Amino acid sequence: MLAFLDARLVLLSVPKTGTTALEVALRPHAAAVLTGHPGLKHIELRAFQRFVAPVLDRTGAPRFETVAVLREPVDRLKSWYRYNSRDEVIGRPDSTAKVSFQTFVEGFLSDEQPPYARIGRQSWFVQPLPDRPGVDHLFRYEAMDAVLAFLSERLRRKIAPARMNVSPDADTSLDPALEGRLRAALADEIALWESARC
């Protein structure tokens, strides 16, 4: 999470949406930085509203607007699967190196998710506190040019982040019936992503 004082803007870091590269590029220009440990770097909207926004509000008005990026939900699962198949993750409970994508998706859909399939939901990440606003500026990962244009305009500087956290190649094909179940289970996530700016 990065907060920019002059722009009155906060960039929330939704996992697997390219925000690590944005954070590295923009960190020197931020007034407040939460990074490093995933629990800090990937602070969700509710936690931001409860704990961080009151501190930022001490700097005056207007309130800080929030920005977040969402990835197409099935593509996000594919990215998580590939990312956790890296050699350096082998042996950890979240490693997907020894499971097929089909098994990963079945685990994600199960009531008791195995550790390698516990990746959370983007809708949970951007859910506000009761009676509080949602994310002000929600973008699609697939429209990164629009994200960069928005941030460049608001921060008054050209932004050209390097690619980071690139996932290795892996077979992410799915049986059509399982893909249908997955898309049905992700209907709310897909609708949220479709509502984002592109």
Domain count, the chain: 1
Per the CB < 8 A criterion, the answer to whether 135 and 66 are in contact is: yes
Quick check: 167 pLDDT over 90? no
For residue 160, pLDDT over 80 is answered with: yes
pLDDT at 71 over 80: yes
User: What pLDDT, on the 0 to 100 scale, is given for residue 142?
Assistant: 96
Strand partners, 3: 10, 32
Both tokens assigned to 96 = 């997907």
Count of Cβ atoms closer than 10 Å to residue 66 Cβ: 23
For range 180-187, the mean pLDDT: 98
Q: Which two tokens stand for residue 127?
A: 């859910």
Kindly state the average pLDDT of the residues 7-34. Answer: 94
Whether the pLDDT of residue 117 is over 80: the answer is yes
User: Which H/E stretch holds residue 82?
Assistant: helix 73-83
pLDDT at 196: 97
Across the range 114-123, mean pLDDT stands at 96
Q: Which domain holds residue 88?
A: 2-195
| Pairing label, strands 9-11, 32-33 | unpaired
- 102 CB burial (10 A radius; 0-12, 13-18, 19+): middle
pLDDT band at 192 (very low <50, low <70, confident <90, very high): very high
Mean pLDDT on 94-113: 97
Mean pLDDT value of segment 15-43: 91
> Could you report the per-residue pLDDT of 126-150, keeping only the tens digit for each?
999 999 999 999 999 999 999 999 9
Confidence of residue 161 (pLDDT cuts 50, 70, 90): confident
Band the pLDDT of 9: cuts 50, 70, 90: very high
For the chain, the residue count is 198
What's the pLDDT at 38?
84
CA 153, CA 175: separation in Å to the nearest integer?
43
**pLDDT given at position 88:** 92
In this prediction, residue 136 carries a pLDDT of: 98
Inform me whether the pLDDT recorded for 166 exceeds 80. Answer: no
Query: β-strand 2-4 against 9-11: which pairing, if any?
Result: antiparallel
Q: What is d(CA 19, CA 10) in angstroms, rounded to the nearest whole number?
A: 12
pLDDT at 36 (0 to 100): 82
